[in-house]
């Protein structure tokens, strides 16, 4: 996402999304059908309650007699017991329905959330570089929770209400004539039409609230992730001002949303009042004429109240369903996004024996109008160290991203042991590759966890040995918590050099046949750099190494140095050979030597 937040309710495909959603629920179809059966029994009990209430009133209606016969009293007590039993059955089957459906709902949410995270991991690096973390996490949270909301609203609100309406209409039509049924049907139809139309109109304010909420949350998260940058430039007030502006607009939209909701609630209440009044007028007329009994008017009144109680929250249900469907649409569209980098259907497992890397006339551009790599060809022989150097922006780090297949080349090929990396699975490719990146990001966990992340089944001795080889063990032992020290968000509690040594220890622990050092010592001072170069060299001796370097002093011992400029190899040779040519490499060397002095 690029700052602009797409309106979540546009271009929706609700029916198609509901069909896709049903797959998650139908996996437990036995529980679903059992829960629906409980729902039906519960609703039958609910509708039967007013019928029993009618019989109780008629039984106890003694036409002014001061005493009630013993037999009549027994019947009345029996009806009261039935009344209580029906209410108990309604509550029991309602709760049983919820209990049966709980596993369906939460397992479906579990499955969907796992699928979304897996899909996010499968999406290309390009997607993750462009996204706004705060907005995506907020939308993702709303989207996964919406699954539970849709199930609740559809299965436990809308369907039961529709079923209850049909039962009430049948009772009124069968027992009291068409006039009652017409009043009820017209009232319900007008109520539903008004609710849907008015709710649809006022949805725009909720859309705006969601958009501004995502913007504000994204801005806040971005500013916290870039905490140091904010502090460097004294821009706390700038970030607070931007956040405050988004929240100010959000609160204005919230006021409009609440005001229009109040109008909607009043309109609904007015329609219900009119409908119930008309029904009771008909009932009063028929009682007066002797057509129906006192128990009948109690029955009709109870049915109306029972029917309009769920209808009274139809606006809330409709709005909730609209929001849930809109949020669900976000996650469905995310899941439909095709990863740019995919394994071929017949992709093989990469088997590395020699660990030879070959770039053959590779061309690549992040944007078609701005090529980065322009026909590069070179090979890294097994066990050798080849360094790539050059000015900033020359395309050095892009080579490592292409080797790891975060992007696919536009033209040419990259081969490992003669196998085009597009022909093998990404997992098998990355299993044989190790990297010490330029910017090492840590998980907010212990040092031990971050080190063993490279090899989940590593023993304690292996982890400590890797730390020693990276000259990290003394530092770790000096910490009060040692290997159990929490490194903080993104490794914020560690210095740049310490994080870099952590990355080196990781790759030493993984011990892959191919290692990429991407500006591996860029965060180290000269003393630290020299100290750990031995560890790097020890790792490089056991592997084929591609070293992407800015500091030329770290690659003087490379078997071959490639000098990159504007995406083209302009020089190549050993350190001594390149110095004697007095070209770009020699100029860069002189500049760095003078700056070190």
Q: How far apart are CA 288 and CA 291, in angstroms?
A: 8
CA dihedral sign of residues 123, 128, 133, 135 = negative
Mean pLDDT, rounded, for 554-576 = 90
To the nearest whole percent, how much of the chain has pLDDT over 90? 12
Kind of pairing, strands 357-367 and 411-416? antiparallel
Of the listed ranges 26-30, 49-53, 198-202, the least confidently predicted one is 49-53
Q: What was the pLDDT predicted at 3?
A: 38
Identify the bridge partners of residue 424 per DSSP, sorted by sequence position.
348
The domain 14-336 belongs to what CATH superfamily? ABC transporter type 1, transmembrane domain (1.20.1560.10)
pLDDT digits (tens, 9 = 90+) for 250-307: 888 888 888 888 888 888 888 888 888 888 888 888 878 877 777 777 777 777 777 7
User: Taking the CB of residue 547, how many other CB atoms lie within 10 A of it?
Assistant: 26
Residue 407: pLDDT over 70: yes
Q: How far apart are CA 446 and CA 468, in angstroms?
A: 17
Three-state DSSP class for 489?
helix
Q: What was the pLDDT predicted at 395?
A: 85
CATH placement of domain 344-432+512-597: 3.40.50.300
DSSP string, 221-287: HHHHHTHHHHHHTT-HHHHHHHHHHHHHHHHHHHHHHHHHHHHHHHHHHHHHHHHHHHHHHHHHHHH
Do residues 11 and 142 touch, judged by C-beta distance below 8 A? no
Mean pLDDT, rounded, for 450-456 = 86
Average pLDDT, the chain: 80
Q: How far apart are CA 415 and CA 10, in angstroms?
A: 44
Mean pLDDT, rounded, for 502-512 = 87
Do residues 331 and 140 touch, judged by C-beta distance below 8 A? yes
pLDDT digits (tens, 9 = 90+) for 21-44: 777 777 777 888 888 888 888 877
User: Taking the CB of residue 495, how many other CB atoms lie within 10 A of it?
Assistant: 13
Do residues 208 and 253 touch, judged by C-beta distance below 8 A? yes
To the nearest whole percent, how much of the chain has pLDDT over 70? 86
Confidence of residue 425 (pLDDT cuts 50, 70, 90): very high
pLDDT digits (tens, 9 = 90+) for 526-563: 666 666 666 666 666 678 989 988 888 888 888 999 99
Q: What was the pLDDT predicted at 550?
A: 80
Q: What was the pLDDT predicted at 561?
A: 93
Residue 311: pLDDT over 80: no
Mean pLDDT, rounded, for 447-475 = 86
pLDDT digits (tens, 9 = 90+) for 73-120: 666 566 677 777 877 887 888 888 888 888 887 888 878 878 888 888
Q: What was the pLDDT predicted at 4?
A: 38
Q: What was the pLDDT predicted at 528?
A: 60
Q: What is the pTM of this model?
A: 0.68
Domain locations in the chain?
A: 14-336, 344-432+512-597, 442-508
Confidence of residue 7 (pLDDT cuts 50, 70, 90): very low
Confidence of residue 6 (pLDDT cuts 50, 70, 90): very low
Q: What was the pLDDT predicted at 520?
A: 65
DSSP string, 125-162: HHHHHHS-HHHHHHHHHHHHHHHHHHHHHIIIIIHHHH
Q: How far apart are CA 512 and CA 489, in angstroms?
A: 27
């Amino acid at each position: 996402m690029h700052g602009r937040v797409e309106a979540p309710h546009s271009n929706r495909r609700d029916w198609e999304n509901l069909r896709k959603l049903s797959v998650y629920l139908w996996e437990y179809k036995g529980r679903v059908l059992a829960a629906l059966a409980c729902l039906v029994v519960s609703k039958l009990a609910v509708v039967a309650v007013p019928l029993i209430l009618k019989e109780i009133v008629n039984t106890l209606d003694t036409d002014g007699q001061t005493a009630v016969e013993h037999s009549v009293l027994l019947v009345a007590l029996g009806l009261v017991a039935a009344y209580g039993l029906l209410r108990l059955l309604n509550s029991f089957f309602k709760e049983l329905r919820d209990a049966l459906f709980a596993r369906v709902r939460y397992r479906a949410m579990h499955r969907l959330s796992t699928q979304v995270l897996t899909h996010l991991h499968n999406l290309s690096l390009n997607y993750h570089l462009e996204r706004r973390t705060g907005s995506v996490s907020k939308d993702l949270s709303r989207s996964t929770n919406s699954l539970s909301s849709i199930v609740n609203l559809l299965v436990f609100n809308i369907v039961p209400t529709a079923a209850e309406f049909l039962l009430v209409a049948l009772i009124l039509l069968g027992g009291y004539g068409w006039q009652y049924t017409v009043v009820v049907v017209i009232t319900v139809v007008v109520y539903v039409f008004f609710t849907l139309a008015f709710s649809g109109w006022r949805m725009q304010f909720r859309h705006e609230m969601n958009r501004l909420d995502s913007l504000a949350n994204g801005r806040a998260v971005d500013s916290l992730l870039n905490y140091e940058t904010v502090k460097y430039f004294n821009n706390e007030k700038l970030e607070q001002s931007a956040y405050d502006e988004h929240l100010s607009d959000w609160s204005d939209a919230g006021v409009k949303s609440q005001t229009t909701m109040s109008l909607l609630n009043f309109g609904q209440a007015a329609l219900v009042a009119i409908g119930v009044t008309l029904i009771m007028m008909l009932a009063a007329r028929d009682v007066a004429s002797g057509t129906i009994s006192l128990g009948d008017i109690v029955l009709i009144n109870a049915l109306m109240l029972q029917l309009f109680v769920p209808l009274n929250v139809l606006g809330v249900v409709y709005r909730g369903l609209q929001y849930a469907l809109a949020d669900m649409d976000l996650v469905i569209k995310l899941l439909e996004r095709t990863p740019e980098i995919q394994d071929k259907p017949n992709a093989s497992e990469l088997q590395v024996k020699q660990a030879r890397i070959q770039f053959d006339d590779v061309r690549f551009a992040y944007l078609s109008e701005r090529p980065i790599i322009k026909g590069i060809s070179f090979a890294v022989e097994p066990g050798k160290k080849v360094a790539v150097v050059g000015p900033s922006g020359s395309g050095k780090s892009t080579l490592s991203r292409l080797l790891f297949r975060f992007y696919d080349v536009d033209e040419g090929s990259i081969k490992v042991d003669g196998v085009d990396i597009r022909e093998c699975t990404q997992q098998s490719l990355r299993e044989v590759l190790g990297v010490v990146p330029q910017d090492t990001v840590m998980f907010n966990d212990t040092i031990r966890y971050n080190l063993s992340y490279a090899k989940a089944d590593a023993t304690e001795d292996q982890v400590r040995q890797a730390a020693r080889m990276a000259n990290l063990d003394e530092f770790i032992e000096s910490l009060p918590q040692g290997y159990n020290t929490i490194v903080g968000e993104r490794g914020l509690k560690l210095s740049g050099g310490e994080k870099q040594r952590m990355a080196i220890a990781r790759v030493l622990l993984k011990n892959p046949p191919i290692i990429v050092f991407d500006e591996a010592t860029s965060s180290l001072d000269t003393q630290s750099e020299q100290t750990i170069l031995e560890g790097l060299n020890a790792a490089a001796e056991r592997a084929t190494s591609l070293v992407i370097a800015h500091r030329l002093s770290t690659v003087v011992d490379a078997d071959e140095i490639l000098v990159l400029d504007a995406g083209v190899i302009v020089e190549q040779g050993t350190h001594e050979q390149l110095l004697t040519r007095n070209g770009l490499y020699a100029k860069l060397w002189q500049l760095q030597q003078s700056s070190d002095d």
